[in-house]
Amino acid sequence: MKLRNILPTLFTKKKKALVIVGPTASGKSSLAIEVAKKYNGEIISCDSRQIYKGLEIFSGAVTDETSDGVKHHIVSLVEPGETFSADCFTKEALRYIDQITEKEKLPIVAGGTGFWAQSLLYESVFPQVEPDYAFRETLESYTIKDLLEMLKQQDPERAKTVDPQNKKRIIRSLEIVRAVGKVPRAKHVSRKGYTFVLVYLSPEKEILDKRIRNNVSARMDQGLIKESEQALANLNEQQIIELGLGFKHVLDLQSGKISRADFAALMVQQEIGYAKRQKTFFKKLFKKYRGPKIHITDMDSHVRLKKTESLL
Q: Give the pLDDT of residue 195.
A: 93
Q: What is the pLDDT of residues 132-187, one digit of tens each?
A: 889 999 998 898 889 999 999 999 999 988 878 778 889 999 999 999 898 887 67
Predicted confidence band of residue 217 (pLDDT cuts 50, 70, 90): very high
Predicted confidence band of residue 81 (pLDDT cuts 50, 70, 90): confident
Residue among 278, 268, 279, 272 at smallest CA distance from 218: 268
Q: Give the pLDDT of residue 1.
A: 40
Predicted confidence band of residue 90 (pLDDT cuts 50, 70, 90): very high
Is the pLDDT at 87 greater than 90? The verdict is no
Percentage with pLDDT > 70 across the chain: 93
Instruction: Report the range of poorest mean pLDDT among 9-13, 195-199, 215-219.
Output: 9-13
Q: Give the pLDDT of residue 131.
A: 83
Please name every residue paired with 164 in a beta bridge, in sequence order, or none if there are none.
Answer: none
Q: Give the pLDDT of residue 45.
A: 97
Cβ partners under 8 Å of residue 261, min gap 6: none
* Rounded-to-integer distance, Cα 291 and Cα 298, Å: 22
252-255: list long-range contacts, CB under 8 Å, 24+ apart.
Answer: 253/225, 254/229
DSSP 13: S
Mean pLDDT of the 294-305 span:
96
Residue type, 190: S
* Rounded-to-integer distance, Cα 233 and Cα 23, Å: 29
Is the pLDDT at 293 greater than 60? The verdict is yes
Beta carbons within 10 angstroms of residue 157's beta carbon: 12
* 43: phi then psi, degrees, rounded to nearest 5: -105, 135
Q: Give the pLDDT of residue 2.
A: 47
Q: What is the pLDDT of residues 219-242, one digit of tens each?
A: 999 999 999 888 888 887 767 766
Give the chain's domains with CATH numbers.
Answer: 3-122+189-311 (3.40.50.300), 127-185 (1.10.20.140)
Predicted confidence band of residue 206 (pLDDT cuts 50, 70, 90): very high
Of the chain, the end-to-end C-alpha distance in Å amounts to 7
Q: Give the pLDDT of residue 186.
A: 67
pTM over 0.85: no
